[in-house]
Amino acid sequence: MSTKDQAIEKWEIQLRKGSLELAILASLWSGKLYGLEILRTLADGSSLMVPEGTVYPLLARLKAEGWVDSEWVEAEAGHPRKYYSLTPSGRRHLLKMSRSWSSFAASMDRLLRPLKKEER
């Protein structure tokens, strides 16, 4: 991999890292999920490719912040699963994050419009 590609990869890692909290909270918007389901939702619904080991400590933090809650549910087969769901304050926090993200993305899109014409 060339140095330029490595630089892009490094930058993408930083970008993903910065949006991970928003992505995890957003995956819980429609209902409760357990850790592996959150990872699968993020992998299917986005190109986030989340490092698995990072998600669980981050979920523990979101719980400590009071934005998600958790409960253990017996699985039909195998070990019980720890399900996470958004708390009311977590839903409000997520809505605020989503508004900030949309406004930021719109600004970046405006800034990048001339480049897109060039790429065509």
Partner 1 sequence: MPEHDSRVEAYLAELRIRLRGLAEADVSEVIAELRSHIDESSRGDAVDAVLMRLGSPAELASLYETENLFDRAARSQSSPWLLLRTITRWATFSIAGSFVLFMLIAGYVVAASFFLAALVKPFSPDRVGLWRLANGDFSLRLGFVEGPPPQATELLGWGLIPAGFLIGAVAFWLIPRFGRWAIRHWRRVPDLPSRAERR
Q: Can residue 52 be called a binding residue for partner 1 (CB under 8 A)?
A: yes
Binding mask 64-103 toward partner 1 (x if CB under 8 A, else -) reads: x-------x--x--xxxxx---------------------
Binding mask 6-45 toward partner 1 (x if CB under 8 A, else -) reads: -------x---xx-xx------------xxx---------
Side-chain-side CA neighbours of residue 51 (13 Å): 8
Q: Are 21 and 101 in contact (CB under 8 A)?
A: no
Q: Can residue 54 be called a binding residue for partner 1 (CB under 8 A)?
A: yes
Contacts of 21 (CB under 8 A, 6+ apart): 58, 62, 97
Which of 21/69 has CB closer to partner 1? Answer: 21
For binding to partner 1 (CB under 8 A), which residues are involved?
Answer: 13, 17-18, 20-21, 34-36, 49, 51-54, 56-58, 60-61, 64, 72, 75, 78-82
